[in-house]
Amino acid sequence: MTIPLPAVGLPLPGALRGRHRWRFFQAGGLRQVRLHRGEDFARLAELPQELWTILGCPVQGVRFDARTLALLDADQDGRIRIPELLAGVQWACDRLRDPAALLDGAPRLALASLAENPEGQALQALARRILADLGQPEAGALSLEEVSLREALLARTPFNGDGIITPEAAGTPELKQLIGEIIAVCGSANDRSGAPGIGREHLDRFFGEARAHVAWLDQGRPADVQPLGGATAAACAAVQAVRAKIDDYFTRCRLAAFDPRAAAPLNRGEGDYGA
């Protein structure tokens, strides 16, 4: 059973006199601010920190939506502090017609409660798109569960906004083959669905290395690099095929020249050289 605590008029610190009128209540010998109006949220940044009950809280062990806590923890240090909480409150107030909607505790957010400014209208357009994708284009409210469901559906679409393109998202067999080859050469990154794909860094690396390879091949085209013209490559391959035996022959010649006594054991039969 919850016993309502009456608001009491306590002396205000000098810093608060003449500004927003806050309401306080006394609990356990501690004076606390009562947030009971939309304006309280809109003016929360004006409340001196010495009047805050706590200055921070961990993101773990709190009975609250874990993803929302992670978003509030802007520096990802595992704790939510006053500036981060104020940033979240300000974000919400900027997008609501009346910040009092934060006090409703309704499971669904009415689209009519969103502000007419660009931020609120952008959020309303997104909400209507989510509802349309869920088959509820005429609905006037949106819940967190519906947003999560839309996110799961989005993850399974070929172009889900994560910047990763999978082979299955390719429009042609040639493009699918190219994406597969890029993955084979440069690796991959998982998209929202968990499937491997490529991002901008993979494309840049692949085509950068391809251009470098083409430039390296072009260096071998001038006449001074190919003395036999079009036959240079075939001649080079022929030399490479017998290079080991040629090197062996001249090595034996140098050994025999160094010590004539080595000529006999080094001068193997013709049949041995043909082996």
H or E, element range at 108 = strand 108-110
Question: How many angstroms separate the CA atoms of 46 and 35, rounded?
Answer: 13
Question: How many angstroms separate the CA atoms of 46 and 31, rounded?
Answer: 17
Contact 6, 51 (CB under 8 A): no
Question: How many angstroms separate the CA atoms of 153 and 173, rounded?
Answer: 25
Distances (CA, A) of 147 to 45, 163, 182: 29, 20, 34
Beta strands 56-58 and 141-143 are: unpaired
Per-residue tens of pLDDT for the chain, all 275 residues: 344 444 444 445 554 445 788 999 988 888 889 998 999 999 999 999 888 988 999 999 888 888 899 999 999 999 999 999 999 999 999 999 999 988 888 889 999 999 999 999 999 998 998 898 888 889 999 998 888 887 777 766 767 778 888 888 888 999 999 999 999 999 999 888 788 999 999 999 999 999 999 999 888 777 777 778 778 888 889 989 999 988 988 988 888 888 888 887 777 666 665 65
At residue 110, φ and ψ (nearest 5 deg) are -70, 130
DSSP one-letter code for 25: E
Amino acid at 152: A
